Chain A
């Protein structure tokens, strides 16, 4: 069964450093998402992406964050200058369409630890 993959599974970085989290969505999916979960808190929507553009972003997704689909398979989340509060599990997801009824398929997540 096709699945969403994410690398790395765990990233440790120093405050102020840039990180890039990578995702490979399911191949025939057109819509891509990033979510994050701070330890002990809810899973929160960050951004959705379609046709090489951001469709929607949350208030969390400020200028320090960016997303890109650099080639036909990868979808990346970049945090330009990490802060301690960026420590969280980051989940990538993809779906065939962006209707409210469609299922989003999630990757296993990348745990980001900012020291």
Chain B
């Protein structure tokens, strides 16, 4: 079946540290891949997406590359800020519905 696995949280980093949140997927065919972010008290917001293999999605300094060979879509940011503290969800799209990973909580300390 289709599924998404994310690294366990919470992840705690100091400001300006490098961030990687791992995401791997299992799916038939080539789904589109997404990262959503949920800030405290808010809904899910699209952070970035990639629709085919080797595509790189990017937004607000975050990047993720669709790797078909490793079935991965890891989220990276070179220098995190306190304002990046949130829960990050990796997801794949099958027929219009989203299948989510379990979410990774990121806490950035000044």
Contact = CB atoms under 8 A, between A and B. Distances in A.
Interface residues of B, number: 25
Interface string A31-55: 1010100000111110010000001
Interface string B42-73: 11111001010000000000000000000000
A43 B37 CA distance: 12
Given A41-B102, A100-B32, A101-B51, A48 B97 contact: yes
B93 A42 contact: no
Contacts of B36: 106
Contacts of B88: none
Contacts, number: 62
Contacts of B102: 41-42
Chain B binding surface SS class: strand
Interface residues of A, number: 28
Interface of A: 4, 6, 31, 33, 35, 41-45, 48, 55-56, 91, 93, 95, 98-109
Kindly list the 10 A-B residue pairs having the minimum CB-CB distance in the complex, ordered from nearest: A98-B96, A108-B43, A106-B44, A43-B100, A100-B93, A101-B51, A106-B43, A45-B97, A100-B32, A101-B32
